Amino acid sequence: MKKYVISGVIIGGLCIYFFMALVVLPQEYLSHKVIEPQPTQDVTLSNDELILGESFIIEIEIENKNDVSDILVTSVAFPGLQEIGDEVEIIGYDYTQTPTYTDLGDKLNSEYTYGEEISATYPSIEAHSRNVPKDTSYQMALRVTPQNVGVFETYIKTISIPHTTELSHYPYEGFLDTQGEYVSVFVVTVKP
């Protein structure tokens, strides 16, 4: 008799387990809203034309709208440089993580992490914040002193992770960089 009671309890427990695993819990997971962060950015250049040896300031303000973002990344890239060196200096930032530098050849994800891993073809600076509530903003300022006459280009983009929609990155359209991601292009003319 004891065997039947123990067998009945085990069978009943397994039935409850499988009912929860196959019916109740999947519905609970499906009922959760997908997180949809939406970054925006406002960029100001102090000059769009200067004399060789002079500096200009890039001021970047980003804001996370709509929903929480696990990670918010702003990338400032310099396609005309081989290395950042003394030409670019971070003069201020309030992101929660220390900015990192990407050098030529460093491995990068592409196409908003959906593409393959590629090698960086120009240097960049990335500023990160983690656990970013909606309506939170961050700033970064850079001093740039070009070493050559001509056009000095800067690519700037901001990406929210999780990257769940086309609004999870800024800009939403335009010029694609070597990672296959949209960037805002800023140009300063350097005269002799």
Rounded Cα gap, residues 168 and 156, in angstroms: 15
Mean pLDDT by 10 residues, the chain (192 residues): 75 75 64 81 96 97 93 96 94 96 92 86 96 95 97 97 89 93 97 96
pLDDT given for residue 3 in this prediction: 75
pLDDT given for residue 7 in this prediction: 76
- 169 alpha-carbon distance from chain centroid: 7
Rounded Cα gap, residues 78 and 27, in angstroms: 47
pLDDT given for residue 15 in this prediction: 73
Asked whether residue 167 falls in the same domain as residue 96, the answer is yes
112 conformational bin, left if phi > 0, alpha if psi -120 to 50, beta if neither? left
pLDDT given for residue 135 in this prediction: 94
Asked whether residue 74 falls in the same domain as residue 94, the answer is yes
pTM, 2 dp = 0.82
Percentage of residues of the chain with pLDDT beyond 70: 93
CA dihedral sign, ordered 88, 92, 94, 97: positive
Asked whether residue 97 falls in the same domain as residue 127, the answer is yes
- Token pair, residue 169, equals 């990155």
Rounded Cα gap, residues 146 and 80, in angstroms: 10
Domain with residue 42: its CATH number is: 2.60.40.1510
Asked whether residue 111 falls in the same domain as residue 26, the answer is no
Asked whether residue 129 falls in the same domain as residue 163, the answer is yes
- Token pair, residue 153, equals 């280009």
Asked whether residue 108 falls in the same domain as residue 127, the answer is yes
Counted domains in the chain: 2
Asked whether residue 96 falls in the same domain as residue 159, the answer is yes
Asked whether residue 87 falls in the same domain as residue 140, the answer is yes
Phi–psi pair at 7, nearest 5 degrees:
-60, -40
pLDDT given for residue 119 in this prediction: 93
Asked whether residue 158 falls in the same domain as residue 67, the answer is yes
- Token pair, residue 96, equals 């929660």
Range of the domain at 102: 38-191
